[in-house]
């Protein structure tokens, strides 16, 4: 394991409650020693300050896409990443972060000025609406066991 | 005129996304804007038309890390609206839910967010396993977090979006075996917490100034599901008063709302709680942290970190007591007929006082709701402190140093932007 270069990880949060970030940091309680050897967290705002936007072996995306900046950023991340993983319900199906898409006309009327004020997209998008997703980990929050299973699968694939 | 514009985009090692703008003109700070840049997800608008039964799980999704606090605040508000009195066992289990949250959330903040600043590292995972002190801290941090996480799994189902607590009670109950395991794990984590308190007691970071503070205080113990809101001015407010004592401040540049109290900024959170109720801490905590507790009350914002470390110890001590002295038996969820009403839930989340309000019709359908989060209450204080800090650092400090000091100060408040951007109706004040 030590002879292989570390797997370059990006962890990105878009519009969401960041519950998957918390689940990831709880999974870390039991796996941090292994991850320290295996992963190079290149970009993970919750873990570090000196974040680097270069190439990623695996980019994890949580959250839905709520603005044109989000759309541009996810395309940029896709271009830099061998594997792109959508984690959690907001990334995979766009909800609940995109619940305004389902609002009644009356509810929409009450928030329109705020959507416009901050230049948000008329409709919130799930990640696969904009870029190709290699692996989906659904759940609100994601299931830690499924997360580990998918991560281990990706590590095996990248190392093969 | 000499003008400097400082901008910190996407502040790191905090919950969620925020930016900070500081304008300096002729050596004086003329504008400070702490802007929460998360996009609104409109949770209070989305409440309307939902059944009251769905509200705790709905509002939990405002924030991942504080989600179990939102579950508790929402359940309290819904029970208030329906006139439900929880059973003594439910009250005990809820205290454990809050303790598990404080243990894991404060440990996340102190080890993963703050500790790298103390050791000149970029990330907690960069700590050197071959250095005995750093090796110990790595293990301590994950062991404490793990003890909190397992306690949350035992009593609440999970650490995030807890699925055992519901309106009227709990759906599942801790087994004797699970409780014994948790007690063992909490006891094993206790020495690590004492080391943590020592580190933050000796930490060289300080920023002291006069400020007001406010917290929900429990009558019988140091708790997070309190009875009365108490301020540093000595006033008390009842839960039912909701937020009549707070003034809403609209910030055109932020996705969140801010609040003042009697026209002044104030702070909420662990430091406020310790300042107002340290005499109610668990006897074991008081004994083990006796010297450190002499530092409170304090208005040094960096003592918020120390206060969180002490709260971890208190939550561990009280959880061990509750789990050791009680056995939990399955009991049915308290159910009452639906009725029209308004309910208020106020609790102490890890970052401070959290208010939920729900208005339902006779069929239990939500007509309206409101949520006030701790970070919104700390916002004005954060901006003022950053302004003072920058003026103190100018003109000699290089920009990188100023940026680092600003981030450090903001981290001490432990803000949560996911909570901040849940949506409150904003009245815009154009400038």
pLDDT per residue as tens digits for the range B62-119: 999 999 999 999 999 999 999 999 999 999 999 999 999 999 999 999 999 999 999 9
Do the domain assignments include residue B288?
yes
B260 and B291, same domain (yes or no): yes
Do the domain assignments include residue B427?
no
Per DSSP, the three-state class of B351 is coil
Closest CA to B90 of B293, B269, B374, B333: B333
Do the domain assignments include residue B429?
no
B223 and B341, same domain (yes or no): yes
Q: Which two tokens stand for residue B64?
A: 């991942």
Burial group, residue B240, by CB count within 10 angstroms (0-12, 13-18, 19+): exposed
Angle at A54 between CA A52 and CA A59, to 5 degrees: 90
Contacts of B21 (CB under 8 A, 6+ apart): B5, B6, B7, B8, B31, B32, B33, B35, B253
Closest CA to B416 of B371, B355, B372, B375: B375
Is A140 within 8 Å of chain B by CB?
A: yes
Name the minimum distance, in Å, from the CA of B87 to any CA of chain A: 29
Do the domain assignments include residue B355?
yes
Is A111 within 8 Å of chain B by CB?
A: yes
* B304: phi then psi, degrees, rounded to nearest 5: -65, -35
Tokens 């991942």 belong to B64
d(CA B259, CA B268): 11
The answer to whether the Cβ–Cβ distance between A36 and B45 falls below 8 Å is no
Query: Do residues B275 and B230 touch, judged by C-beta distance below 8 A?
Result: no
Tens place of pLDDT per residue across chain B (431 aa): 677 777 777 777 777 777 888 888 888 888 888 877 778 899 999 999 999 999 999 999 999 999 999 999 999 999 999 999 999 999 999 999 999 999 999 999 999 999 999 999 999 999 999 999 999 999 999 999 999 999 999 999 999 999 999 999 999 999 999 999 999 999 999 999 999 999 999 999 999 999 999 999 988 899 999 779 999 999 999 887 777 888 888 777 776 778 999 889 999 999 999 999 999 999 999 999 999 999 999 999 999 999 999 999 999 999 999 999 999 999 999 999 999 999 999 999 999 999 999 999 999 999 999 999 998 899 889 989 999 999 888 878 888 888 889 889 999 999 887 676 543 332 322 23
B180 and B124, same domain (yes or no): yes
Identify the closest residue of chain B to A102 by CA–CA distance: B46
Do the domain assignments include residue B430?
no
What is the fold, at CATH topology level, of the domain defined by A7-154?
Answer: Rossmann fold (3.40.50)
| Other CB atoms within 10 Å distance of the CB of residue B206 | 10
The answer to whether the Cβ–Cβ distance between B146 and A30 falls below 8 Å is yes
| Other CB atoms within 10 Å distance of the CB of residue B19 | 17
B23 and B112, same domain (yes or no): no
B333 and B411, same domain (yes or no): yes
B25 and B119, same domain (yes or no): no
d(CA A135, CA A128): 10
Is A27 within 8 Å of chain B by CB?
A: no
B17 and B74, same domain (yes or no): no
B18-25 and B28-36 beta bridge pairing: antiparallel
Q: What is the pTM assigned to this prediction?
A: 0.95
Name the minimum distance, in Å, from the CA of A149 to any CA of chain B: 19
Residue A114 host element (H or E): helix A105-117
d(CA A52, CA B68): 33
In chain A, what's the furthest Cα-to-Cα distance? 60
CATH number at residue B216: 1.10.645.10
- Cα distances (angstroms) measured from residue B175 to each of A91, B91, B148, B179, B319: 35, 17, 17, 6, 15
Do the domain assignments include residue B357?
yes
Of A18, A20, A47, the CB nearest to B123: A47
B11 and B125, same domain (yes or no): no
B114 and B193, same domain (yes or no): yes
Name the minimum distance, in Å, from the CA of B160 to any CA of chain A: 7
Which ipTM value was assigned to this complex?
A: 0.95
Q: Which two tokens stand for residue B110?
A: 């102190």
Q: What digits encode the pLDDT tens for the residues B218-276? A: 888 999 997 799 999 999 998 877 778 888 887 777 767 789 998 899 999 999 999 99
Sign, CA dihedral B35-B36-B40-B45, equals negative
Mutate: best of B59, B113, B122, B160, partner A, most A CBs <10 A: B160
B384 and B271, same domain (yes or no): yes
Per DSSP, the three-state class of B209 is coil
Quickly list DSSP for B231-245.
ETTS-EEEGGGTTTT
Closest CA to B161 of B88, B77, B54, B83: B54
Query: Do residues B55 and B366 touch, judged by C-beta distance below 8 A?
Result: yes
d(CA B326, CA B180): 11
Do the domain assignments include residue B428?
no
B31 and B48, same domain (yes or no): no
Do the domain assignments include residue B87?
yes
Q: Which two tokens stand for residue B71?
A: 């579950």
d(CA B242, CA B131): 50
Query: Do residues B272 and B352 touch, judged by C-beta distance below 8 A?
Result: yes
Query: DSSP H helical segments within B37-175, as ranges?
Result: 43-47, 55-60, 67-82, 88-107, 115-118, 132-156
Is A73 within 8 Å of chain B by CB?
A: no
Beta bridge partners of B90: none
Q: Give the structural domain span for B122.
A: 43-420
Residues of chain B found within 8 Å of residue A104, distances taken between Cβ atoms: 49
User: Number of structural domains, chain B?
Assistant: 2
């Amino acid at each position: 394991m030590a002879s292989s270069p570390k797997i370059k990880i990006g962890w990105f949060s878009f519009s969401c409650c960041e519950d998957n970030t918390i689940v990831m940091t709880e999974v870390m309680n039991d796996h941090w020693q292994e991850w320290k050897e295996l992963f190079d967290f290149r970009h993970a705002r919750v873990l570090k300050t000196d974040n680097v936007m270069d190439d990623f072996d695996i980019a994890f995306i949580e959250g839905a896409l709520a603005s044109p900046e989000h759309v541009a950023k996810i395309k940029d991340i896709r271009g830099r990443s061998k594997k792109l993983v959508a984690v959690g319900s907001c990334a995979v199906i766009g909800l609940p972060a995109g619940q305004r898409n389902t609002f009644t006309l009356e509810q929409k009327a009450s928030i329109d000025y705020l959507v416009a004020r901050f230049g948000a997209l008329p409709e919130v998008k799930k990640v696969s609406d904009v870029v190709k997703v290699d692996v989906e980990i659904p759940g609100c929050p994601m299931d830690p066991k499924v997360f580990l299973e998918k991560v281990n699968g990706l590590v095996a694939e990248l190392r093969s | 005129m000499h003008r400097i514009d400082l901008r910190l985009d996407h502040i790191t090692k905090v919950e969620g996304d925020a930016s900070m703008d500081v304008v300096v003109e002729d050596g004086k700070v003329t504008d400070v804007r702490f802007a929460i840049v998360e996009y609104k997800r409109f949770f209070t608008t989305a409440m309307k038309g939902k059944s009251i039964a769905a509200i705790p799980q709905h509002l939990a999704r405002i924030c991942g890390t504080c989600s179990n606090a939102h579950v508790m605040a929402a359940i309290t508000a819904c029970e208030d609206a329906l006139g439900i009195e929880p059973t003594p066992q439910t009250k005990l289990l809820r205290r454990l839910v809050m303790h598990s949250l404080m243990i894991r959330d404060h440990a996340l903040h102190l080890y993963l967010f703050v500790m790298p600043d103390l050791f000149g590292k970029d990330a907690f995972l960069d700590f050197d396993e071959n250095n005995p002190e750093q090796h110990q801290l790595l293990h301590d941090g994950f062991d404490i977090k793990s003890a909190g996480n397992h306690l949350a799994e035992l009593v609440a189902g999970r650490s995030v979006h807890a699925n055992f607590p519901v309106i009227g009670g709990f759906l599942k109950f801790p087994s004797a075996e699970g409780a014994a395991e948790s007690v063992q794990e909490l006891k094993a984590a206790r020495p690590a917490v004492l080391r943590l308190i020592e580190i933050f007691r000796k930490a060289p970071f300080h920023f002291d100034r006069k400020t007001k503070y406010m917290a929900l205080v429990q009558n019988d113990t140091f708790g997070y599901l309190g009875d009365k809101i108490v301020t540093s001015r000595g006033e008390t407010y009842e839960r039912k008063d909701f937020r009549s004592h707070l003034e809403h401040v609209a910030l055109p540049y932020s996705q969140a709302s801010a609040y003042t109290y009697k026209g002044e900024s104030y702070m909420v959170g662990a430091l406020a709680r310790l300042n107002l109720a340290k005499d109610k801490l668990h006897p074991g905590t008081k004994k083990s942290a006796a010297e450190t507790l002499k530092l409170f009350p304090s208005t040094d914002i960096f003592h918020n970190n120390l206060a969180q470390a002490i709260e971890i110890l208190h939550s561990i001590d009280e959880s061990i007591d509750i789990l050791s002295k009680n056995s939990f038996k399955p009991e049915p969820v308290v159910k009452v007929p639906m009725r029209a009403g308004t309910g208020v839930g106020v609790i102490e989340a890890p970052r401070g006082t959290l208010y939920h309000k729900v208005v339902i019709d006779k069929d239990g359908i939500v007509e309206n709701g409101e949520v006030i989060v701790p970070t919104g209450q700390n916002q004005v204080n954060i901006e003022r402190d950053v302004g003072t800090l920058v003026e103190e650092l100018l003109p000699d400090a290089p920009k990188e140093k100023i940026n680092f000091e600003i981030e450090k100060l903001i981290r001490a408040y432990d803000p949560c932007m996911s909570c901040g951007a849940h949506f409150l109706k904003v009245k815009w004040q154009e400038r």
